[in-house]
């Protein structure tokens, strides 16, 4: 399990901490330098950590030293993340029909993935993480929920690998093909992308590489619209954190982690309401740097602690099936609701 005794963990795993810092820093700054939407620094950090683990796993002396459980790093990241991404003021101004569509798609993701997980008796931690990563915001959601469900490094790696595969398939094949086959205009295509894409970077990529569709919005308006819709999905974490924490412990559970998360959301929204320019231009950019850096380091630590073979294990295969099934169901429901309401 992700350990709670942070200082003991640091002392016993200083080599792992140093490696995690190096890998996480490199992944973050590579993405920042290249500014490539598809290169999520959290995903890059995780799989770089796994690669380092593979390289050194034959050396028992070194392999034992590169394990570092990143609970405190993930927990710090969630404070900056919630402050920067969940803005109740902005979301309250959205079209109620679109909010309903987003909510329904999130529920479909959860229902399909959890149903399949229970039907085939999959490990509940992997099911919860795969469902949350698919329904809300990929690596960020997985990093947020992992401590609440007491997930271990293998659970996180398996879930993120499955969600990433499904997202790549959706972005490069399913999404553009669906847009062309159903003659969507750019507005409806943005709704479809923002409601089903698992990563914010992938939503950005879908805006920048929109297929030949009817244009009703400017390039800048499309990007702002799609990212606002994607941000609204983050609200799902306010339910996912206590829900899966409670299911894991089999009793009502609202951790201090959840209250800090909620408090950060409210504080960020209040500051935005007081002075939107100050919030958007002088606070949010630095907070985004903070949580992306912290979570990059945390994901590198998880990669270093992962058993490489676990990703392609029986649980790993079923996680991929669940992620793909959830995404395909979400696309069908999103298309139906777009045709009915938009």
pLDDT digits (tens, 9 = 90+) for 63-74: 555 555 566 677
- Average pLDDT for 80-96: 88
Domain count, the chain: 1
325: Cβ contacts below 8 Å, ≥ 6 apart: 112, 113, 116
Is 231 within a domain? yes
Is 320 within a domain? yes
Is 303 within a domain? no
Could you read off the pLDDT of 220-234 as tens digits, one per residue?
Answer: 899 999 989 998 999
Q: Which domain holds residue 279?
A: 86-289+308-341
Give the separation between CA 242 and CA 252, rounded to whole angstroms.
8
pLDDT of residue 139: 86
In this model, does residue 170 exceed pLDDT 90?
A: yes
Is 294 within a domain? no
pLDDT of residue 9: 55
Is 37 within a domain? no
pLDDT of residue 53: 84
Return the half-sphere exposure (C-beta side, CA atoms, 13 A cut-off) of residue 143. Answer: 37
Both tokens of 164, joined, read 């990433």
Is 72 within a domain? no
Could you read off the pLDDT of 172-201 as tens digits, one per residue?
Answer: 999 999 999 999 999 999 999 999 999 988
In this model, does residue 38 exceed pLDDT 80?
A: no
């Amino acid at each position: 399990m992700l350990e709670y005794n942070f200082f003991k963990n640091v002392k016993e795993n200083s080599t792992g901490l140093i490696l995690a810092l190096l890998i996480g820093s490199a992944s973050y700054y590579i993405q920042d330098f290249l500014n490539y939407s598809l290169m999520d620094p959290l995903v890059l950090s995780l799989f770089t950590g796994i690669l380092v683990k593979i390289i050194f796993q034959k050396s028992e002396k070194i392999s034992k030293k590169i394990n570092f459980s990143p609970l405190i790093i993930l927990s710090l990241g969630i404070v900056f993340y919630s402050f920067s991404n969940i803005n109740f003021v902005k979301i309250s101004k959205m079209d109620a029909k679109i909010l309903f569509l987003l909510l329904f798609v999130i529920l479909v993701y959860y229902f399909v993935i959890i149903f399949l997980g229970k039907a085939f008796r999959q490990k509940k931690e992997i099911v919860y993480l795969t469902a949350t990563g698919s329904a809300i915001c990929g690596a960020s959601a997985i990093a947020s929920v992992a401590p609440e469900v007491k997930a271990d490094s293998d659970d996180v790696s398996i879930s993120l690998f499955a969600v990433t595969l499904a997202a790549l398939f959706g972005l490069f094949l399913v999404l553009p093909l669906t847009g062309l086959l159903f003659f969507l205009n750019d507005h409806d295509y943005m709704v479809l992308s923002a409601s089903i894409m698992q990563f914010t970077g992938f939503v950005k990529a879908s805006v920048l590489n929109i297929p030949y569709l009817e244009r009703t919005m400017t390039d800048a308006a499309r990007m702002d619209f799609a990212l606002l819709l994607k941000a609204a999905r983050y609200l799902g974490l306010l339910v996912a954190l206590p829900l899966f924490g409670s299911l894991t412990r089999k009793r009502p559970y609202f951790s201090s982690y959840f209250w800090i998360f909620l408090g950060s959301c409210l504080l960020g929204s209040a500051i935005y309401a007081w002075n939107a320019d100050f919030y958007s231009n002088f606070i949010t950019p630095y907070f985004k740097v903070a949580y992306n850096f912290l979570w990059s380091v945390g994901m590198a630590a998880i990669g270093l602690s992962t058993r490489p073979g676990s990703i392609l294990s029986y649980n790993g295969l079923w996680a991929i099936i669940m992620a793909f099934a959830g995404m395909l169901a979400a696309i069908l429901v999103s298309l139906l609701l777009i045709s009915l309401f938009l």
